[in-house]
Chains A and B, each alone.
Chain A
């Protein structure tokens, strides 16, 4: 899917692609389309790691805003969607990202950040006009030289990626946040002169959601149609809730809240994912809110101490043969529910719900490294619990 003749038959789990998957939850096409030269993609990954991901003088939010503003200055629909999506994962709404991209002064960025982003926009739009007074102005707004340097480097990175995307014809990873070129129109209801944002065309992103028709009926006011969605997805939602909450009674209770929220906000469902995915996200967030509300849970943000596996016995080659599928299912559920909450949550989101590390981090309000650390701990704890059933010396499963 690129202008170049390029067979995408490279290893799907190449380490450099794994870098993007691990840090962003997916591999953007702008990098995938360069895999004829994976060595160069690796160099780009190293640069991104140093400039964008490693903690520096700027916050990650500021850095992502710079990528977004420069991409908007370059009228790059692909990159604006990509960086808008990243900002969304970091907790910024699509509407705010849209404003930052095309209507910065009316966004909710702080005054200093607006000054920074305006200066960077100038650098991207009219580089010849950028000069020392622009730097001095940033210093007056309180930015250190290290922060200014990082800003310029990130702007350069954005320019580079925009050029590569246009050159290769990389297809969008996400529906557009803003479609360029912008149409200007007189808006009598607003004095901001804000450009009209075109909506993505449906045929650009074919939706294969089997629930589209039922969702449309509910949105049209046919409340009874929602019952079909409850029956269809109830089991799946129940499963998520029991795993996260660790209690069937509590899951039943929360399940009502989940479907109630879904019904009330079905007008906000934009079809950017399947309805079922959207519903599971509501379930996860509702369950996590419930967990956070418990008094006796202890902090989910506690630092993790050291964990050392104790029972190092070799396992049978094929533990699945030890018992029936039903016995295995019950055993795994029983042992996952016994895990301490903070490890169980991460293990449920990553290994049962199959969220990406970035999505799990976002849902839990944790950093990616913390999610990774807890995930390995949770998996090791679960492994330890299963040793008596599956080691070569074990006598079988009686869950």
Chain B
């Protein structure tokens, strides 16, 4: 049976469902016998779920007006110095 450190090495692929059948069987066998790795697998899976579902870094407010103005002012002045889009 595989060891805990080997399980941890494959944990990412297991979470992403990217492991070959034979490796998955070994990982599941390990999980069935190792309480620590069960906890680790469960809590890392939940971590991943929270990260993808929490809307982290997805700011609820529209971009601030001064920022839009700074960006557009820089772009308009670039047009004056002939850095217009390449076509």
Task: List the interface of chain A (C-beta within 8 A of B).
Answer: 13, 15, 18-19, 21-22, 218-219, 221, 223, 226-227, 230-231, 234-236, 238-240, 242-243, 252, 255-256, 259-260, 263-268, 306, 308-309, 312-315, 319-320, 325, 328-329, 332-333, 336, 347-348, 351-352, 354, 357, 372-373, 375-376, 379-380, 382-383, 386-387, 390
Contact = CB atoms under 8 A, between A and B. Distances in A.
Contacts of B78: 260, 263-264
B71 A255 contact: yes
A336 B56 contact: yes
Contact of B43 (A219, A332, A390): A390
B32 to A, nearest CB: 16
B86 A267 contact: yes
B10 to A, nearest CB: 8
B13 A312 contact: no
- 8 closest A-B pairs by beta carbon, nearest first, are A234-B63, A376-B12, A239-B57, A267-B86, A267-B87, A22-B18, A332-B56, A18-B18
B62 to A, nearest CB: 6
B2 interface: no
A260 B39 contact: no
- How extensive is the interface on chain B, given as a class? 35 or more
Contacts of B74: 256, 260
B8 to A, nearest CB: 7
A238 B63 contact: yes
A352 B56 contact: yes
A256 to B, nearest CB: 5
B53 to A, nearest CB: 7
B11 A382 contact: no
Contacts of A351: 48, 51-52
18 contacts: A15-B19, A22-B18, A223-B76, A234-B71, A242-B57, A243-B57, A263-B78, A264-B85, A265-B86, A267-B86, A315-B43, A319-B50, A328-B50, A332-B56, A376-B15, A380-B11, A382-B47, A383-B47
Interface in B40-81: 40, 42-44, 46-59, 61-63, 67-68, 70-72, 74-76, 78-79
B12 A329 contact: no
Nearest to B22: A15
Contacts of B68: 227, 230-231, 234
B43 A314 contact: yes
Nearest to A353: B57
Given A329-B56, A329-B58, A22 B43 contact: no
Given A325-B54, A348-B57, A382-B51, 9 more contacts: A19-B18, A227-B72, A230-B68, A263-B85, A265-B85, A266-B85, A314-B42, A373-B12, A380-B44
B1 interface: no
Given A314-B43, A376-B8, A376-B11, A15 B56 contact: no
A104 B24 CA distance: 44
Contacts of B59: 235, 238-239
A348 B54 CA distance: 13
B84 interface: yes
B66 to A, nearest CB: 10
A329 B55 contact: yes
A240 B57 contact: yes
A230 B72 contact: yes
A308 B36 CA distance: 12
A264 B84 CA distance: 6
